[in-house]
Amino acid sequence: MAIYVVRTNIKSEAKAEDNLRRAGFSTYAPWQKFERLNRRKRIWIQHEMRLAPRYLFLDTGDLPRNQTPWGVIRACEGVDRVLGYQGLPIPLSGPDAEALAAIRNAEADFAFDETRAGKLHRREIGKTKRETTRMKFPVGSKVRISDGTFTSFNGEITNVNGRGHLQVMIEIFGRMTPVELAADQVEAA
């Protein structure tokens, strides 16, 4: 299995990919997903962006280099050239092919997905504010208050309420006192 790098014309990655697939080749291009807040509408809009703009990875299958129809590949609309040396296309070397396989696996595991769905899949956040706070600060963990009236006090988390606020037991005047704090007011001790 030989993988070659194809350079496409400007803004023609989708056209080149479609034409190469029609010619019988499989292609791959890694994508990154992210969200941006539309401040006027106050909604999150999902965007996709190529990690390697103007480049596609072309898999020629089991064809040897001298039997690959390079003229057909170069004639596909949107294709600028196949990267190589002195006009001869050069396939990706072993370590580069392994790195490309690692990128493919990382993309399948939502590593390049910065949307809410990707963060939920990677368990960086929870479905609700409460779940997210419980993931960061489990019940029974020791915390240090970093903001507010009780700055620099140490305490222990006893509960997380529905709004994602923490119930923390701190020692004031020799007695344990429950205090409700926001998650951004504490840090792990």
75 & 98 share domain: yes
Low-confidence ranges of the chain (pLDDT < 50): none
139 & 91 share domain: no
Q: Residue 30's pLDDT is what?
A: 95
Q: Residue 112's pLDDT is what?
A: 94
DSSP state string for 48-108: EEESSTTEEEEE-TT--GGGS-HHHHHHSTTEEEE-EETTEE-PPPHHHHHHHHHHHHHHH
Domain's final residue, options 100, 121, 142: 121
96 & 158 share domain: no
Q: Residue 47's pLDDT is what?
A: 96
107 & 139 share domain: no
DSSP state string for 156-172: EEEEE-TTS-EEEEEEE
Q: Residue 53's pLDDT is what?
A: 96
The domain total for the chain is: 2
| Residue 36, token pair as written in the block | 């941006």
Range of the domain at 149: 129-188
103 & 135 share domain: no
Q: Residue 52's pLDDT is what?
A: 94
109 & 181 share domain: no
pTM for this model (two decimals): 0.74
CATH number assigned to the domain comprising residue 173: 2.30.30.30
Domain's final residue, options 92, 121, 150: 121
